[in-house]
A and B are shown apart, each in its own frame.
Chain A
Amino acid sequence: MLLKRKAQTMKDTLRKIFTNWRILLMLFLLVIAVIAISPRPGREGLAIRSIDANSSAALAGMESPKPSAQPVSRERILSVNNQPVAALEDYNRITAALRVNDTVYLKTTKQQYPLKVKEAFDFITLNETELLTTEEIILVNETADNGSIMEVPRTINVTREVPKVMKVGRGAEDLGIRAYPAPTSNVKKGLDLQGGTRVLLQPEQELSPDDTASLIDTMTQRLNVYGLSDIVVREAGDLSGNQYILVEVAGASETEIRDLLAKQGKFEAKIDGKTVFRGGEDVTFVCRSANCAGLDPNRGCFSDGSQQVCSFAFSITLSRLAAEKQAAATAALDVVQDQGGSYLSKPLELYLDDQKVDELSIGSDLKGQAVTQIQISGSGAGQAKDAAAFTALQNMKRLQTILITGSLPVKLNVVKVDAISPVLGEGFVRNAILMTLIATFAVAIAVAIRYRTAILSGLIVVTMLSEIVMILGLASFIGWNIDLASIAGIIAAIGTGVDHQIVIADETLRGSRDGSLYNWRERIKRAFMIIMLSYFTVAVAMLPLVFAGAGLLKGFAITTLLGASLGVFVTRPAFSELMSILVKR
């Protein structure tokens, strides 16, 4: 009989909990957060971070993941030559033993790739010089028949004395894969937690918003060209109006990044080995508006086997000198038929810092013509038409950026460089999790002792942990990186959360024991009066930090704001409802 009544009360309580909209809202957001985080403990293999350009891996068809791809959806390497790779050490050990021209079989979650090991070379500049003759086209002034002076291109041979360079093989080249232990959730760790390099750059002159956008495009592009994909390049500012560019590259060493950023960004277009134009000076205009750049309506999209391919086209304007050079270079080429169009026998090759980044077919109508307005076209492939169109437009944007400004529009000074070792990062994460758990349970015990009820402790622990899950879920959802400053922000947010729950507990419990004039709902309302006011003061105190100091503490400020807001509007109301259902009796 008693048992039956107990069961009945239990049922009643559960019904009350699961019909309360504030509690349901919290549960709903928790479920969404867990889906966003999608924890996958114990995953095998190594996730691919990026593939170096022109490396063995790139030649075998491996691709860097899209920057927007969620961490758990990344392609993973499962085995190398049938030996499973559980840790980076396994991979390094196996690949260190490779020799030139070996074939390696790399099994990933997508497919098996045969990789051919290339030979690496050192270029040693010798202490002697040699004479090098090259053909160059210059413009000379010539008096035409009608007496006017006009510029005419002339091909001349230039001989220069250049230092002699010796090419020396130095064994097997790296496969060109940057991998890291497979992520077990979608929570993106900040640099200080996963290792990598962070550089803060300051432009020498003030940049307009347009210039800044193109600078960021160019830098991202440049780093992508070198096969680095986990990159954040963003603008940062401070209250005094200083501009900064923040570059974060996961899993790259400080020397690599310094070298990369120091590079001039030399862009050249070559036909048959001859330079026809250079980025910046020779390209006077690159069209990026919709009327002369976009998916090519004349060719459209078509299916090629299992894939869809879409074409893009955009026009550029060359300087006269560049146009003449192109005319001279194309005059000697043959016309070939391919893919329904007629093209010249040699393609236009694009080089960035002496690395070939792209190759374009030249329409046959350009043969020997000194046209200044030319159309550049290319294509992108994907599983579906949408994906193909997306890739095509991405490729177009990439090319445009290279063409507009191979070199950066302004000199940048390095004001801060951080190199964070990944070994430290792993320790930090484990340490932070352990610390949070121990602190949470210490709080629970203190609350239990203070209020002499386990239910309240339980509720406080549940709300603290739900707040952490919700903050992490939100971070995964919007792609926010959790770094040490964000962890401090989470601590601040759940700290104020506990403070507020103590206020709720005191206001409600005290009232019910004193036989207060106010009913339960009124008392919760009164607790919220205190909570809302302290929430507003914390929120306004954090706001200036979002904008100050080159964004160094932005992560902290935003996480605190998000966490405190989630707390005040979601978990605190749910907590007080749970209190009233479970403790009121």
Chain B
Amino acid sequence: MPDNQEHSSPHQHQEHQQGQEHHASPSAQQHPSPSRHETSPLPQQHPSPAQKSDAKGNANGQRGPGIPLKDRLWAFYAGKYKPLFIVPLLLMLLSLGIIGAGYASTGSFIVKDVSLKGGATITVPLDKEIDTPAIEHAIRAAMPGHDILVRGYGIPGQQQGVIISADIDINSKEQLDALLTAISSSLGSPFKEGSYGIEFFGSSLGASFFRESLIAMLVAFALMALVVFVYFRTFIPSVAIILAAVGDMLAALAFLNLFHIPIGTAGIAAFLMLIGYSVDTDILLTIRVLKRKEGTVDERIASSIKTGVTQTAIAILAMGIGFAMAQSDIIRQIMLILIVGLTADLVFTWIQNVGLLRYYLERKGRT
């Protein structure tokens, strides 16, 4: 059935080294449909000696009635990979725009929490439900000129306490006392010594930690890129992997900016974790597409999508549970950044990176 499609393709002149002549039916059998793919015998898909193929061959050939929607979608995805670049590009530009707007208004490309800009966080366990915005309002009124943030923590449906962060000068006893007084009066009951936790952050430490983290991040990125380059020894595929990681991080950063979610030291850890998770799927894809010989390029991409999307979906599931359940702000912060970054990774890996690999193979096939 699908064999004749190749010959009707207008892109027939674009030959590829990988793949095969009778261009089997990636459209019919290799799209992410687990049951069909696994059970199909695919007899005609062994590499042919000619090693000729046209990855885009079926793009136009499959339009028309009678062809399942899934197949048409795959044909669109595989054939129109160049126009599809607009999606990751827009996402990246949008992210940069949001980050830039944030930078223009606050002078920083992230909303820093007190651990990065200096101040104190006070965690007060409570045995009753309280109105967090009202408390935040009351403390703000009592401490004019300070940035006060109040969040509740606990398991869903049961608040277990509040976390108050304030950008006070930690060397000023008066400011700390004023803050503690404001908190206890807003909570309606003086809290007793030892029942609450306080963390102080010096502003100079925050600034130097932030600078350091940026360096650490750059070094991490450089080392990661080095490993990728040394392994693949080709420019475009390696850059594609790195670009996907950049895209993930920008998207997560933009999300944090958009919703004014402050991040601290834990956030930095999360961004480094994001590099790792992001690269996982890209490496899987690139090894399968470039280093494997069985099947067509489309088949290998489809199999990577199956494995990679499973990985990402399971990771997002586990992290969603972590985000919903965790009491610790640190853990929640990490989970949120990973969830957003991994969601963006679906676009940056399966549209941008796949597209770049197709482009690379196409170019390589031509020269």
The chain A residues found within 8 Å of chain B, CB to CB, are: 192, 195, 200, 202, 238-240, 242, 253-254, 414-421, 423-424, 427-428, 431-432, 434-435, 438-440, 442-443, 446-447, 450, 484-485, 487-488, 491-492, 495-496, 498-499, 502-503, 506-507, 510, 513-517, 526, 529-530, 533-534, 536-538, 540-545, 547-550, 552-553, 556-557, 560
Contacts and interface: CB of A to CB of B under 8 A. Distances in A.
B322 A548 contact: no
B276 A534 contact: yes
14 contacts: A239-B215, A417-B200, A418-B200, A421-B195, A434-B325, A439-B321, A442-B321, A443-B314, A495-B315, A498-B318, A530-B287, A541-B272, A544-B216, A552-B265
A484 B331 contact: yes
Interface string B309-347: 011011101110110011110110010000000000000
B208 A537 contact: no
B310 A502 contact: yes
A21 B267 CA distance: 40
Contacts of A419: 197-199
Given A537-B283, A542-B220, A502 B311 contact: yes
B318 A553 contact: no
A499 B311 CA distance: 5
Contacts of A533: 227-228, 231, 283, 287
A484 B307 contact: no
Given A253-B193, A417-B200, A540-B223, A498 B314 contact: yes
Nearest to A253: B194
Name, among A537, A556, A560, the residue most crowded by chain B CB atoms within 10 Å (CB to CB): A537
Given A240-B208, A446-B314, A438 B325 contact: yes
B234 to A, nearest CB: 14
B173 to A, nearest CB: 11
B314 A200 contact: no
A502 B284 CA distance: 11
B209 interface: yes
Nearest to B303: A510
B292 to A, nearest CB: 8
A467 to B, nearest CB: 14
A498 B223 CA distance: 24
Contacts of B328: 192, 428, 431-432, 484
Contacts of A492: 273, 276
B283 to A, nearest CB: 5
A488 B219 CA distance: 21
A451 B259 CA distance: 37
A254 B176 CA distance: 13
Given A418-B199, A443-B314, A548 B216 contact: yes
Nearest to B293: A517
Interface string B180-221: 000000000000011111111110110011011101110111
Nearest to A460: B314
> Shortest 10 CB-CB distances between A and B: which pairs?
A540-B223, A415-B202, A548-B216, A538-B276, A544-B216, A544-B219, A541-B220, A549-B212, A418-B199, A421-B197
B244 to A, nearest CB: 12
B280 A485 contact: no
Given A254-B198, A533-B287, A556 B269 contact: yes
Given A416-B202, A540-B220, A540-B227, A423 B326 contact: no
Given A424-B197, A434-B325, A496-B276, 14 more contacts: A415-B202, A419-B198, A438-B325, A443-B314, A443-B317, A484-B328, A484-B330, A488-B273, A496-B280, A503-B284, A534-B280, A541-B220, A548-B213, A560-B273
Contact of B272 (A414, A536, A542): A542
A545 B216 contact: yes
B362 interface: no
A543 to B, nearest CB: 7
Contact of B197 (A202, A420, A506): A420
Name, among B202, B266, B328, the residue most crowded by chain A CB atoms within 10 Å (CB to CB): B328
A506 B310 contact: yes
B3 interface: no
A168 B314 CA distance: 67
A485 B294 contact: no
Nearest to A431: B327
B216 A442 contact: no
Given A499-B315, A510-B303, A515-B41, A418 B223 contact: no
A446 to B, nearest CB: 5
B113 to A, nearest CB: 14
Contacts of B34: 450
A418 B284 CA distance: 42
Contact of B215 (A440, A548, A560): A548
Contacts of B39: 513
Contacts of B211: 240
Contacts of A446: 313-314, 317
A455 to B, nearest CB: 17
B81 interface: no
B153 to A, nearest CB: 9
B279 interface: yes
Contacts of B125: 421, 423-424, 427
Given A238-B212, A240-B212, A533-B283, A545 B269 contact: yes
Given A442-B317, A544-B219, A552-B265, A506 B331 contact: no
B224 interface: yes
Given A487-B331, A533-B283, A421 B314 contact: no
B353 interface: no
A32 to B, nearest CB: 27
A496 B277 contact: yes
Contacts of A495: 273, 277, 315, 318-319
A543 B160 contact: no
Interface string B293-313: 010000000010011001101
A556 B269 CA distance: 7
A502 B314 contact: yes
Contacts of B205: 200, 202, 415-416, 550
A520 B63 CA distance: 39
A506 B38 CA distance: 11
B268 interface: yes
A523 B330 CA distance: 39
B330 A488 contact: yes
A41 to B, nearest CB: 23
A502 B318 CA distance: 14
A545 B145 CA distance: 34
Contacts of A435: 321-322, 325-326, 331
B61 to A, nearest CB: 25
B42 interface: yes
Contact of A506 (B220, B268, B307): B307
B123 A424 contact: yes
B170 interface: yes
B212 A543 contact: no
Contacts of B202: 200, 414-416
A548 B212 contact: yes
A171 B253 CA distance: 58
A337 B303 CA distance: 90
Name, among B198, B200, B275, the residue most crowded by chain A CB atoms within 10 Å (CB to CB): B200
A499 B277 contact: yes
Given A418-B200, A435-B322, A496-B277, A239 B212 contact: yes
